[in-house]
């Protein structure tokens, strides 16, 4: 069956078109666009008009591509920015009216479970125990699993857009990250959630894939080279030290850093490094697979 999956994130919108046969996904085309749907977000007003328009224009383009490929089923999700916005429901209605695409607003728990499903589908080696970290624009999902089954999902109010626009300085962002992770650590301790010694940390979404692309000095993004790439904490710190002194526009000269991430990458690296410290990991595996593939394979589960 020809299907499409759309992940409408706080920073990036992504489209996957593929064929599913016996729970196996064959990807035909992937499109992505940085729309910064959560840009200019306020708890009083919700999604800004300009951000909604960027998302709408992108989804119109996605709709035309899906028609071109004869898509039979669409699975489309909206995450942190839309679920946190007062005008989120109105935005979802408008998207349906204008594009014909039904956006399902998913909570952090389902987002984590679908991300795990997608990550597993792209692994080169099976890992019995994993901690999957999905650093998004508005939230970070940490999914702890054993033997490919979800045991715990935490959706943390830490995202690259949320941190960059809301806190600004490195010092303020670090303080916020530390506060949130302290609560997270207390929660998993109270619930008896154990991260086993042989667990592997797998990082997915834009920050992680960008770090891998920078390490490989990748002028043109190649998901096949990025997926399953191993990064040490030392290497991530070296990239951070290289990027921090630069102005955002100067960072764009570095191969592997995509336009639209130049002002957000510092926040993303800080989240990843702090999570590694919090959970005791010295290296991670990068996954290009994640929520998008999980959606495609989900059969519309909720």
For 147-214, give the DSSP string: TTEEEEEEEES--HHHHHHHT-SHHHHHHHHHHHHHHHHHHHHHTT----TT-EEEEESHHHHHHHHH
Return the CATH class of domain 125-291. Answer: alpha beta
pLDDT over 90 at 23, yes or no = no
pLDDT over 80 at 301, yes or no = no
Supply the CATH classification number for the domain 2-105. 3.30.420.40
Cα–Cα distance between 302 and 275 in angstroms, integer? Answer: 28
Burial bucket for residue 82 (CB in 10 Å: 0-12, 13-18, 19+): buried
Question: Sorting pLDDT into bands at 50, 70 and 90, what band is 300?
Answer: very low
Question: Sorting pLDDT into bands at 50, 70 and 90, what band is 45?
Answer: confident
Cα–Cα distance between 72 and 4 in angstroms, integer? Answer: 8
**What phi and psi values does residue 64 have, to the nearest 5 degrees?**
-65, -40
Burial bucket for residue 299 (CB in 10 Å: 0-12, 13-18, 19+): exposed
pLDDT value, residue 216 = 97
Q: Is the dihedral of CA 75, 212, 143, 264 positive or negative?
A: negative
- Across the chain, the runs of DSSP E, i.e. the strands, are 2-8, 12-21, 24-34, 73-78, 104-105, 129-135, 140-146, 149-156, 200-204, 230-232, 283-287
Please enumerate in sequence order all residues whose Cβ is within 8 A of that of 77, keeping only pairs 6 or more positions apart, or say none. 6, 7, 8, 103, 104, 105, 106, 111, 114, 291, 295
Q: What is the pLDDT of residues 133-190, one digit of tens each?
A: 999 998 999 999 876 677 799 999 999 999 998 898 999 999 999 999 999 999 999 9
Q: What is the pLDDT of residues 105-146, one digit of tens each?
A: 999 899 999 999 999 999 887 778 899 999 999 899 999 987
Selected residue with higher pLDDT from 208 and 86: 208
Q: State whether residue 65 is helix, strand or coil.
A: helix
Q: What integer is the mean pLDDT of 212-224?
A: 94
Please enumerate in sequence order all residues whose Cβ is within 8 A of that of 103, keeping only pairs 6 or more positions apart, or say none. 6, 8, 76, 77, 78, 82, 92, 95, 96
pLDDT value, residue 38 = 87
pLDDT value, residue 201 = 96
Beta bridge partners of 150: 145
Q: State whether residue 227 is helix, strand or coil.
A: coil
pLDDT over 70 at 299, yes or no = no
- Order across the sheet with 12-21: list the strands: 24-34, 12-21, 2-8, 73-78, 104-105
Q: What is the pLDDT of residues 236-280, one digit of tens each?
A: 999 999 999 999 999 999 999 999 899 999 999 999 999 999 999
Question: Domain locations in the chain?
Answer: 2-105, 125-291
Cα separation of the two ends of the chain:
20
pLDDT value, residue 302 = 38
pLDDT over 60 at 103, yes or no = yes
pLDDT over 80 at 230, yes or no = yes
Highest mean pLDDT among 1-5, 96-100, 127-131, 235-239 belongs to 235-239
The structure's pTM equals 0.90
Give the pair of three-digit tokens for residue 292: 């998008």
Question: Sorting pLDDT into bands at 50, 70 and 90, what band is 44?
Answer: low
Give the pair of three-digit tokens for residue 32: 């992505």
Please enumerate in sequence order all residues whose Cβ is within 8 A of that of 280, keeping only pairs 6 or more positions apart, or say none. 195
Task: Tell me the percentage of the chain whose pLDDT exceeds 90.
Answer: 73
Give the pair of three-digit tokens for residue 39: 């840009």
Q: What integer is the mean pLDDT of 42-70?
A: 90
pLDDT over 70 at 42, yes or no = no
pLDDT value, residue 39 = 84
- Within this chain, domains 2-105 and 125-291 share the same CATH topology: yes
């Amino acid at each position: 069956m020809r299907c499409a999956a759309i992940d409408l994130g706080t920073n990036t919108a992504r489209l996957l078109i593929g064929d599913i046969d016996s729970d196996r996904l064959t990807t035909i085309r992937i499109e992505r666009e940085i729309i910064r749907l959560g840009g200019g977000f306020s708890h009083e007003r919700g999604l800004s008009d300009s951000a909604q328009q960027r998302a709408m224009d992108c989804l119109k383009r996605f709709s035309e591509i899906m028609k071109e490929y004869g898509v039979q089923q669409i699975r489309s999700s909206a995450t942190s920015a839309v679920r946190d916005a007062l005008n989120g429901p109105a935005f979802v209605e408008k998207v349906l009216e204008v594009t014909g695409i039904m956006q399902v607003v998913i909570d952090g728990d389902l987002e984590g479970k679908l991300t795990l499903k997608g990550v597993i589908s792209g692994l080169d080696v099976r890992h019995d125990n994993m901690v999957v970290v999905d650093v998004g624009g508005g939230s970070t999902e940490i999914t702890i699993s054993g033997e490919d089954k979800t045991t715990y999902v935490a959706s943390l109010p830490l995202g690259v857009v949320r941190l960059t626009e809301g806190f600004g300085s490195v010092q303020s962002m670090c303080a916020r990250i530390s506060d949130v992770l302290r609560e997270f650590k207390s929660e998993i301790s109270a619930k008896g959630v154990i991260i086993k010694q042989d667990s592997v940390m797998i990082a997915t979404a834009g920050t992680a894939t960008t770090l891998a692309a920078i390490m490989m000095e990748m002028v043109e993004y190649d998901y096949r080279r990025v997926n399953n790439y191993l990064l040490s904490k030392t290497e991530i710190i070296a990239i951070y030290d290289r990027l921090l002194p630069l102005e955002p526009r100067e960072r764009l000269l570095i191969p592997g850093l995509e336009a639209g991430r130049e002002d957000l990458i510092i926040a993303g690296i800080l989240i990843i490094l702090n999570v590694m410290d919090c959970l005791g990991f010295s290296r991670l595996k990068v996954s290009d697979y994640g929520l998008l593939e999980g959606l495609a394979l989900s059969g519309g589960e909720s």
